[in-house]
Chain A
Amino acid sequence: MIRHTLKTLIGCMLLIVLFAGQISAQVIRKNIDSLTAVELATYEHAIQLLKDRSAENPYDLQGYAWQAWVHNKNRVTIPAQNTMKQGDMIPTEFYKKAAQEVYADGTYGYPGMCEHGKDIFFIWHRAQFYYYEQILQNTDPEGTIVDSKGNKYPTKNLGIPFWNFTRKASGKKFPKIFEDQNSVLYHPGRNIEIDPKDTSFTSPYLLSNLLQSDYWAVFGGYPNATNGGYGTFESQIHNPMHDKFIGGDMASPSTAAYDPIFYSFHAYIDYVFEAWMEQHGKEKITSLNYFLRAQQPEQFHLPNHNPGLGDRPNMGQANLYLDISKLGYKYQVRGKDRFYNAAEIAQFLTDSKGRPLVLGVSNESPYYKLFTYGVQRKPESDIGELTQQTLTIDAVNPEVPYIYTYTESQPTTSYQVDIYMHPVNVKAKIKSKKFREKYFVRSANAWLDEMHGDHIMGGHKLNVDLTEAINALNQNFSGEEYQITVNYTKQ
């Protein structure tokens, strides 16, 4: 009896130890505004150490410059012996200079090419962040290394904090710490204009509504093999946050990751990806056998990493990155970080008398309310280039969605399309607020820059799913002639 009890006790203790080990192996990614002072200082310390490494050698794979290049730079020349030092240079200018330097004795390195406008957008960034987080954790695991600002904190349990950009910022526009000029998280050049009455730029209702979509391609992007196409999250939320709201280095794919806010912005996007999978499962996600291009420190490759047949470095196949427990992190979300459910969205999409907003009938389109309510974001009131096409309203099978596709050859700057659906006998008056409010259905944004040549053969198509809007119109206007008016504006 005693022996049996002892065995049970030992078994239980073993289980507890194993369980505790499993938990401690998963760091927690928290809202940056809910970090304790020490947690925040630890994050700053780790980033400072990365920057200190790059100041001594910008070609160090575990430095800040290289990790930014993973997103920004296809190819650099690495000298046999580095002599470039940052000295008094502004860090970003130093990184840009180092990226362009050519050495006679050098060899090529291939930091990375971000994946955008296709179905591996979410998973590529997740892989990038897996390595970045591992590097941060290993900068000073036990808190024994003093950074150039004189600090030391143990970094082994560090998780990348996220910025929930759909909620009112703790600072004037961004989380307070990103506006603190004494912090390593501060980055000059961001667009700091905001109307104080607006809570944010992106509505939490819009994001929650997009998350309801069960169709992976619509939400997450179109298959790589068919030359891609933006999903709704990327074109309606991610892209305009980069080029319209944050600005500065974040406005361009070629410089975005130089700004430390990039990492907290995308950590939240990774949480959105996780939330979509929790709601809809992983089975529908496409291109999971694709290899994710980037040159990362080999010691952090996942156990099943397989480089494939190609001659360029990579982070392995996309399917390695589906399960975050195997990547060593989880999210802690509280209160306002949760998403609205379908009932809450339906309740929100009502007029002042509590009646549901009906597209084409109510004075306010439900999509207009989703996009604009309480936030800075509005459809453009200036007329750019208008294109129009006529459509007879009829039911659309969601399995074969109605996609409006916009593309242009070799675009060099970001652009936006605002889409309106209105009866053919109603003139498109973009400058009229009444028109915009009543007939607005979608806004989508392509995030591009002049270095776009570096992204050649990467795929760029702005796909806008109009299925839901057409089916909403079909309830009251079946068989009627409608016009789709697209207002194209450069950003």
Chain B
Amino acid sequence: MSVYFDPDIKAIFAPYVQLMLQVSIATDQGVFSLDLSNYESVCRLSQRIKIAIEGYKPESKTAHPMPPRKSNGDDNPLPDEQIDMYNQWLKDGMPESEGAEAFSGPIV
């Protein structure tokens, strides 16, 4: 089954859109906002998102995972199946929706 940004990936990230808009991501191309509801923004920063969400996996050496801690202080990891879905979407070439053209901009 194919994975698309809209609705699959967008739905995973929906709860975190507002908080992540506060963050500025520094790269060697410039400093970018991260709008998790926006296809181009997610594609552009897709590798950084991958590092961040995989931080929850036990074997990962990556800290600073996304999504952030809940307001009550509890950890708030993405379930493994959602991380797997995101990775599958990357592997599929990050399609926006069925039949749409794939992202062709720079990944930073």
A-to-B contact residues, CB < 8 Å:
74-75, 110, 113, 115, 120, 224-225, 227, 287, 289-293, 307-314, 317, 405, 407-412, 452-461
A310-B29, A410-B69 known; A458 vs B22 contact (CB < 8 Å): no
- Give B64 Cβ to nearest chain A Cβ, in Å: 5
Q: Is the CB of B23 within 8 A of A456?
A: yes
Q: Is the CB of A454 within 8 A of B61?
A: no
The tally of CB-CB contacts under 8 A between chains A and B is 113
Q: Is the CB of A74 within 8 A of B31?
A: no
Q: Does B97 contact A (CB under 8 A)?
A: no
Knowing A310-B32, A412-B73, say if A455 contacts B26 (CB, 8 Å). no
With both chains docked as a complex, state the minimum distance between the C-beta of A117 and any C-beta of chain B, in angstroms: 9
Q: Give the residue name and chain of the A residue nearest to B51 (CB).
A: A227
- Is residue B30 within 8 Å, beta carbon to beta carbon, of the partner chain? yes
Q: A74 and B65: CB pair below 8 A? A: no
CA gap between A416 and B96 in the complex, in Å: 44
Residue of B nearest to A457 (CB): B52
Give min CB distance, B98 to chain A, whole Å. Answer: 29
Once the chains are docked, how many angstroms separate the CA of A75 from the CA of B69?
Answer: 19
- Give B contacts to A, CB under 8 Å: 19-34, 48-49, 51-52, 55-56, 61-66, 68-69, 73, 75, 77, 106, 108
Main secondary structure, interface of A, reads loop
Residues in A neighbouring B24, C-beta threshold 8 A: 74, 110, 113, 293, 312
Beta-carbon nearest neighbor of A408 in chain B:
B63
Q: For B106, what are the chain A residues with a Cβ–Cβ distance below 8 Å? A: 309
A210→B27 CA distance, assembly (Å): 28
A411: B residues at CB distance < 8 A? 63
**Is the CB–CB distance between B64 and A293 below 8 Å?**
no
CB distance from B53 to the nearest CB of A (A): 10
A308 touches B22 (CB 8 A): no
The distance in angstroms between the C-alpha atoms of A225 and B26, with both chains bound, is 10
Chain B residues with CB below 8 A from A309, complex form: 29-30, 106, 108
Given A75-B22, A456-B20, does the pair A410, B27 have CB atoms closer than 8 Å?
Answer: no
Contact B69 A290 (CB under 8 A): no
Known contacts A454-B23, A455-B64, A458-B64: A310-B30 contact under CB 8 Å: yes
- Interfacial chain B residues near A292, Cβ < 8 Å: 26, 31
Bound together, the chains give a CA A460 to CA B68 distance in angstroms of: 14
- Measured CA separation A293–B24 after assembly (Å): 7
Partner of A409 from B28, B48, B63 at Cβ < 8 Å: B63
The residue in A110, A292, A407, A456 that gathers the most chain B C-beta atoms within 10 A of its C-beta is A456
Complex Cα gap A225–B24 (Å):
15
Residue of B19, B22, B33, B75 near A410 (CB, 8 A) is: B75
7 extra interface residue pairs, beta carbon distance < 8 Å, beyond A120-B26, A409-B75, A457-B49: A289-B28, A290-B26, A291-B28, A291-B30, A309-B29, A310-B32, A410-B68
Once the chains bind, are A457 and B66 in contact (CB under 8 Å)?
Answer: yes
Asked whether, in the complex, the Cβ of A311 is within 8 Å of the Cβ of B19, the reply is no
| Structural contact, A74 and B23, CB atoms closer than 8 A | yes
Asked, given contacts A309-B30, A312-B31, A312-B32, whether A410 binds B62 with beta carbons under 8 Å apart, the answer is: no
A460 neighbours in B (Cβ, 8 Å): 63-64
Are A224 and B30 in contact, CB atoms less than 8 angstroms apart?
no
B17: min CB distance to chain A, Å: 13
A454-B69 Cα distance, complex, nearest whole Å: 11
Contacts of B31 in A (CB 8 A): 291-293, 308, 310-314
5 closest residue pairs by CB, A with B: A308-B30, A310-B30, A312-B31, A309-B30, A407-B63
C-alpha spacing A456/B34, complex, angstroms: 11
Q: How far is the CA of A115 from the CA of B75 in the complex (A)?
A: 24
In the complex, which residues of chain A have a beta carbon less than 8 angstroms from the beta carbon of B69?
410, 412, 452-453
Return 7 A-B CB contacts under 8 Å, by A number.
Answer: A120-B26, A291-B27, A310-B27, A407-B63, A410-B64, A412-B73, A457-B49
A414 vs chain B, min Cβ distance (A): 14
- The distance from the CB of B68 to the nearest CB of chain A, in whole angstroms, is 4
Decide: A410 and B23 in contact? CB cutoff 8 A: no
Q: Specify which of B26, B51, B61 lies most central, judged by the most chain A CB atoms within 10 Å of its CB.
A: B26
